[in-house]
Amino acid sequence: MLGNGSVGLAGGTDLVPLLRDGIVRADTLVDLSRGVPRGVADGRIGAGATLAELEVDPQVPDALREACRLAASPQLRAMGTIGGNLRQATRCWYWRLKYPCYLHGGDRCHAREGEHREHAIFGNERCASAHPSDVAAALIALRSRARTTRRELAVEELYRLPTDDDRDVVALAADELIVELEVPTPRASVYLKAMDRQRWAFPLVGVAAARFEDGVSLALAGVAPIPWPLAGAADLEAATPLPGTAYKVEIARALVARALAAVGA
């Protein structure tokens, strides 16, 4: 039912503005509110669950609950679903204002040469946009898997860096929908977020950490064109910041150390 000009509409918090701006085009909108599951049970979260529901659900691991709680604004959390959150687009101002940038299919990243204080410190060679999803970082640290209408895969496999051949950062087919998320229960987990104001801001740096029997998983938000898994604190030294994003490395160092301490690593 999706693809070929049909686009699925869930909370619509990102999609409706993008449609209006002509960044996303659709001949038909398919209302997903009835078709997609939204409950939470036995470590499974329906993709239609709203962030507002998840931020207060005691079954949800701490890192994910906190990521939901600190995401966007109350009204956006009440509207936005976790499935939609994973598919949200970057907040890069060049991309949003329709500069003919690399991510839009152009030949250069305007942010690299221009204003980029909110932009990437990893994976930013072609496109310096930052992925804004707090939730994705939390799910990746929590080693979550996504079930789509076609397959099951790790949440981090939902994403790919844009390439010359394909500028999309989401590795799903046009007619493929996220249906459900499987979220393991860690021993401990945490999400820490640095932002420009106390609430209602996208992450400058978000750090999710989860401790399992066999070790700790880390993932970052706001630091690369896609959510960025981190093998360990030492990985931060491989960052490739732009002149205006070097401060993000400093913040990430502090927050990663705090997150590791918080989960008892």
Partner 1 sequence: MLELRVNGGAFELDAPVGTSLADALRDRLGLTGTKIACNEGHCGACTVQLDGVPILSCITLVHSVGEREVTTIEGLRDHPLVEAFVRADALQCGFCTPGQIVSAAALVETDPEPDRDVIRHAMAGNLCRCGTYPRVEEAITTWRA
Partner 2 sequence: MARLIKTEKEVEGRYTEQWVVVEEDVLDQWPAGARRVVGRPATRVDGLQRARGEARYTADVQLPGMLHTAVLRSPHGRARVKRLDVGRAMQAPGVRGVLTPRELAARDAADWPGEPSVGPHASEVLTCEPGYAGAPVAAVGAETFGQALAALSLVRVDWEILEPLLDGDQAVRRGSLLGEPRRYERGDLDRGLAEADLVVEAKYRTQVVLHNALETHQSVCRWEGDTLEVYTSTQWIWGVRREVAEALGIPADRVRVVCEYMGGGFGAKNDAGDHTFIAAELARRTGRPVRCALTRRDENRATGNRNATIQRLVAGARSDGTLTALGGEFVNAVGYDGFSPFTSGPMQLLYGCPNVRTVDYGAQLNTPPNAAFRAPGFVEGTFGLECLLDELAARLDVDPLELRRRNHADHDASDERPFSSKRLMECYRRAETHWARRAEVRARSEAPWRRGVGLASQVWYGGGGPPSYAWVRVGPDGRAAVITAMQDIGTGSRTAMAQIAAEELGLPLDRVDVALGDSARGPYASISAGSSTIPSMGPAVRSAAADAARQIVEIAAQRYDREERVLSLRDGHVVSTDGGSWPLEEIAGLLGDGQILGKGARGPNPAGMRVLTFGVQVAEVAVDVETGEVRVERLAAIHDVGRVINPLGARSQVEGGIIQALGHTLSEQRLLDPLTGDVLTQTLDAYKLPTIADVPEIVVEFVDQPDTHLTNLGAKGLGEPPIVPTAAAIANAIRNATGADVRSLPVSREEMLRALRETRGRAEEPVGASTA
Nearest to 50 by CA among 62, 33, 31, 63: 33
Let me know if 249 is exposed, middle or buried by CB neighbors in 10 A (0-12, 13-18, 19+). Answer: middle
The CB-of-24 to partner 1 minimum distance in angstroms stands at 13
What, of partner 1, partner 2, none, does residue 196 touch, CB below 5 to 8 Å by kind? partner 2
- Two tokens, residue 102: 């690399």
The answer to whether residue 200 forms part of the interface with partner 1 (CB under 8 A) is yes
The answer to whether residue 154 forms part of the interface with partner 1 (CB under 8 A) is no
Interatomic CA distance for residues 150 and 172, integer angstroms: 9
The answer to whether residue 114 forms part of the interface with partner 2 (CB under 8 A) is yes
Over the window 162 to 191, marking each residue x when it contacts partner 2 by CB under 8 A and - when it does not, the resulting string is ------------------------------
Per CB under 8 A, the list member of 40, 45, 79, 139 interacting with partner 1 is 79
Per CB under 8 A, the list member of 3, 5, 39, 74 interacting with partner 1 is 74
Q: In Å, how far from its chain's centre is CA 250?
A: 21
Over the window 191 to 210, marking each residue x when it contacts partner 2 by CB under 8 A and - when it does not, the resulting string is ---x-xxxxxxx-x------
The CB-of-257 to partner 2 minimum distance in angstroms stands at 8
- Two tokens, residue 141: 């640290």
What, of partner 1, partner 2, none, does residue 95 touch, CB below 5 to 8 Å by kind? none
Q: Which is nearer to partner 2, 96 or 147 (CB)?
A: 96
E-strand stretches of the chain: 6-9, 28-31, 40-41, 44-46, 145-148, 152-154, 178-182, 188-194, 205-212, 215-221, 228-230
The answer to whether residue 75 forms part of the interface with partner 2 (CB under 8 A) is no
Angle (nearest 5°) at CA 123 between 226 and 89: 30
Nearest to 99 by CA among 121, 118, 114: 114
Interface ranges with partner 2 (CB under 8 A): 91, 93-94, 96-97, 99, 110, 113-115, 117, 194, 196-202, 204, 244, 246-247, 250-251, 254-255
